[in-house]
């Protein structure tokens, strides 16, 4: 049972889908999983496969597009500001908690890749969240990012500063491709990443292969790690890929170590994008279901009146 929904976030409309179990009774409330996609992606790309498995397990699901992406409102398009995306997560939680069949005391958030970091940040500061699943997550902060390649970090800073000055002077909005064939400039280089995004493109015809340059400033500054210990006692599950070329496993492990209990780290011998196709999609979805079942529980028969 899936229906189109809209909710307001900072004066704009986010659009998404609300899933509820088909056999839900009028007097029942279900625990709810709020979920959204990773870097520049839209809700149609692979995520319905996760949402459908979650709802089959008895959970409600709210799957949405961030402002400036997919079917949601916002100009300029493809403006990827992490803290604004966290705001969308939190406004999604507020909206869904007002729905009659939702148990507002049992809210989970799920994120994958870049949204794994967003979900962790949301769970750290929004105590309505009782369980977090961060899948192949971007659990990095500026310190970690710079340590991976200091020279490149500094050269990109100079490039973005030049854009900031021109943007201030002229108001111009410039874009960069998210992925591109080898040799072309893009945000996420690499043949595997390009191939994965191109494969997902067919599932999301409204996906655009670009983000604003200003977005790259905000992404560089985003830190879902330094205060992750404040998430406790919210339960954190991290599902990581051993062969991840986008987010090194050592970085994910270091971030996970900072988190408090309860927490669990599961590492699979896979690459970053393997989680979006079976057999791994079902495997990691089942791990998320077990985690949410443990910390959110099953539906309630309490009256909604």
DSSP of 9-72: ETTEEEEEEEE--TT--TT-BEEEEEEE-STT--TTSSHHHHHHHHHHTT-EEEEEPPTTSTTS
CATH number for the region 2-141+222-296 comes to 3.40.50.1820
**pLDDT level of residue 302 (50, 70, 90 thresholds):** very low
Q: What is the pLDDT of residues 111-159, one digit of tens each?
A: 999 999 999 999 999 999 999 999 999 999 998 888 888 998 899 999 9
- Rounded to an integer, the average pLDDT of 43-72 is 97
Q: What is the mean pLDDT of residues 48-72?
A: 97
Residue 25 has what pLDDT? 83
In this predicted structure, what is the pLDDT of residue 1? Answer: 83
- pLDDT band at residue 201, thresholds of 50, 70 and 90? very high
For residue 26, the model assigns a pLDDT of 78
Global pTM exceeds 0.85: yes
Q: Which residue has the tokens 């500001």?
A: 81
pLDDT category of residue 294 using cuts at 50, 70 and 90: very high
pLDDT band at 300; cut points 50, 70, 90? low
User: 178 pLDDT exceeds 90?
Assistant: yes
% of residues, the chain, pLDDT over 90: 90
Backbone angles phi, psi at 135, to 5 degrees: -100, 130
| pLDDT at residue 305 is higher than 50 | no
Tell whether the model's pLDDT for residue 303 goes beyond 60.
Answer: no
Helix, strand, or coil (residue 190):
coil
Q: Average model confidence (pLDDT) for the chain?
A: 95
Q: What is the pLDDT of residue 73?
A: 98
Burial of 104 (C-beta count, 10 Å sphere; 0-12/13-18/19+): middle
pLDDT above 90 (res 204): yes
Supply the pLDDT for residue 66.
98
Taking the domains of the chain in order of start, what are their residue ranges? 2-141+222-296
């Amino acid at each position: 049972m899936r229906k189109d929904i809209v909710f307001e976030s900072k004066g704009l409309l986010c659009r998404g889908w609300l899933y509820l179990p088909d056999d839900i009774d009028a007097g029942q409330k279900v625990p709810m999983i709020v979920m959204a996609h990773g870097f520049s992606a839209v809700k149609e790309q692979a995520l319905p496969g996760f949402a459908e498995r979650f709802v089959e397990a008895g959970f409600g699901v709210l799957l949405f597009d961030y402002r400036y992406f997919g079917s949601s409102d916002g100009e300029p398009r493809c403006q990827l500001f992490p803290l604004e995306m966290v705001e969308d997560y939190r406004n999604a939680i507020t909206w869904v908690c007002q729905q009659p069949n939702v148990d507002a005391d049992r809210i989970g958030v799920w994120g994958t890749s870049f949204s794994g970091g967003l979900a962790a940040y949301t769970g750290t500061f929004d105590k309505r969240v009782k369980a977090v699943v961060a899948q192949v997550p971007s659990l990095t902060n500026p310190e970690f990012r710079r340590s991976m390649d200091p020279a490149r970090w500094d050269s990109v800073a100079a490039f973005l500063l030049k854009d900031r000055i021109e943007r201030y002077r002229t108001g111009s909005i410039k874009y960069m491709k998210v992925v591109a064939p080898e040799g072309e400039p893009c945000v996420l280089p690499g043949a595997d990443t390009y191939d994965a995004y191109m494969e997902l493109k067919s599932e999301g015809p409204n996906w655009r292969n670009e983000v604003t340059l200003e977005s790259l400033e905000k992404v560089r500054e985003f830190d879902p790690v330094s205060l992750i210990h404040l998430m406790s006692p919210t339960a954190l599950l991290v599902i990581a890929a051993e062969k991840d070329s986008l987010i090194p496993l050592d970085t994910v492990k270091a971030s996970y170590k900072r988190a408090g209990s309860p927490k669990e780290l599961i590492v699979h011998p896979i690459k970053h994008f393997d989680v979006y196709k079976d057999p791994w999609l079902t495997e990691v979805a089942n791990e998320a279901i077990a985690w949410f079942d443990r910390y959110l529980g099953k539906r309630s028969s309490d009256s909604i009146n």
